[in-house]
Amino acid sequence: MMEEFIRYGIPKFRKLTGVLQLLGALGIIVGFWMDYFQILSTFGLSLLMLFGVITRIKIKDGLMKTIPALFYCLLNGYLCFELILNFMG
């Protein structure tokens, strides 16, 4: 992964990205008891993956390398939307 972040041109964000991913996963787990944690975590992970998609596009990676980030961005966005709907009503 170190080489990948160098290739992306953002090596200084490698550790921050890892910490944010772990916090997002932990927030989803904690969210089973506190709904708002799941909403916040899925939103944060969706945003993180959106930046991943933007980075892939910026460095001109092909579609096959961009699809996983896009998939997880859309998946977390969908989960966030559903959680908000369930939380509100």
16: left (phi over 0), alpha (psi -120 to 50) or beta: alpha
Q: Angle CA(25)–CA(5)–CA(44) in degrees, nearest 5?
A: 30
Asked whether the predicted pLDDT for residue 1 surpasses 90, the reply is: no
pLDDT(89) > 90: no
Q: How far apart are the first and last CA of the chain?
A: 41
Q: Does position 35 have pLDDT exceeding 90, yes or no?
A: no
Cα 85 to Cα 62: distance, rounded to the nearest angstrom: 35
Q: Is 83 exposed, middle or buried (0-12, 13-18, 19+ CB in 10 A)?
A: buried
Residue 81 has pLDDT above 90, yes or no: yes
- The pTM (predicted TM-score) of the whole model is 0.90
Q: Which stretch of 20-24, 33-37, 66-70, 77-81 has the lowest confidence by average pLDDT?
A: 33-37
